[in-house]
Homo-oligomer: A and B are copies of this chain.
Amino acid sequence: MGVLVVGTVTLDTVETPSTRVEDVLGGSGVYAAVAANFFKSAVQLVGVIGADFPHTYTDFLETEGIDLQGLKRINNGKSFRWGGRYAKDFNVRDTLFTELNVVADFQPILPEVYKETPYLFLANNPPVLQLSIIEQATDPKLIVCDTMDFWINEEREALEALLARVDVLVLNDSEAQLFTGDSNLMRAAQTILRYGPKRVIVKKGEHGAISVTESSFFSAPAYPLTEVTDPTGAGDSFAGGMLGYIASVKDTSEETIRSAMIYGAVVASFNIEDFSVNRQKRVKFSEISSRYSELQEAVRF
């Protein structure tokens, strides 16, 4: 029982008020796969890289035990590169550049052994690409997808077709507001449910996340960090951690998804403490359990 992650595998340049890193390992697929991998479920990563992608990065992912059969290297292409700059309080991010390169023409074909994987995380990608994965999956137990403002604005119809086919939509607060034109997040989430997903999870950054279904409401706190180094990948770490936990307990009940969201929030909190996946490389599972317990204590009344 494993997790299939379909997302980007990129070389990121990130500027914060104090530091700049260049061509570090990044991408929604990487953040989600590394997060899911903490929970000892088999994690498969589907994505595309170019000839320039450092072998040290793929070696790291393989050493961690992430299955890279679905990661395609295009030998005459260049990797996706993204650059972003954070302002002082990390609430504002400017995109400095986005070079799609090999991602522009990517049409993922699932390796045979991936088709039966039960838990799918379709990270932000063109909705048609996300749909094509769903069509290749033979027995999905839970399909979770993410999206972004660009697809909401430019590919609305395809996105709506996608929503009719997924179990859970994960998106951030500004995206939920953009999709629905409604600034009330609770009402926005209820509106999105009508497009098909059984559950809408709205990420609110430092304010945590909410999960809304027809019959339930869950408010998940964020882990209260006092030091933020780089928020890049936090949302994908959240979703990946969530899927990793779900796959490890092989259950998609409300109870499990609530716990999974907290595990996701914890993994995201570690992600934010360093650039790229550097902090994740050093995290022990006991530290994850410890922050999970702290969050239990933080909401108890």
Contact = CB atoms under 8 A, between A and B. Distances in A.
Interface of A: 88-91, 183-187, 190, 204, 206-208, 210, 217-221, 224-226, 228, 255, 258-259, 261-262, 294, 296-301
Given A89-B183, A207-B207, A299-B299, A224 B217 contact: yes
A18 to B, nearest CB: 14
Nearest to A296: B301
29 contacts: A88-B183, A89-B183, A89-B184, A90-B183, A91-B183, A184-B225, A184-B226, A184-B228, A185-B206, A186-B224, A186-B226, A190-B226, A204-B207, A207-B208, A210-B224, A217-B224, A217-B294, A217-B298, A218-B299, A218-B301, A219-B224, A220-B301, A221-B299, A255-B301, A258-B300, A259-B301, A262-B301, A296-B301, A299-B299
Contacts of A183: 88-91
A174 to B, nearest CB: 12
- Which of A88, A204, A218, A261 is the most central at the interface, judged by chain B CB atoms within 10 Å of its CB? A218
A218 B296 contact: no
A176 to B, nearest CB: 13
Contacts of A296: 301
A187 B299 contact: no
A89 to B, nearest CB: 3
A254 to B, nearest CB: 10
B298 A219 contact: yes
A289 to B, nearest CB: 14
- Which of A206, A217, A301 is the most central at the interface, judged by chain B CB atoms within 10 Å of its CB? A301
Contacts of A224: 186, 210, 217, 219
Nearest to A258: B301
A299 B185 CA distance: 17
Contacts of A91: 183
A243 to B, nearest CB: 17
Contacts of A88: 183
Contacts of A208: 207, 219
Given A218-B300, A296-B301, A299-B299, 11 more contacts: A88-B183, A184-B225, A184-B226, A204-B207, A217-B298, A219-B298, A219-B299, A220-B301, A221-B299, A258-B301, A261-B301
A225 B186 contact: yes
A89 B187 CA distance: 12
Contacts of A185: 206
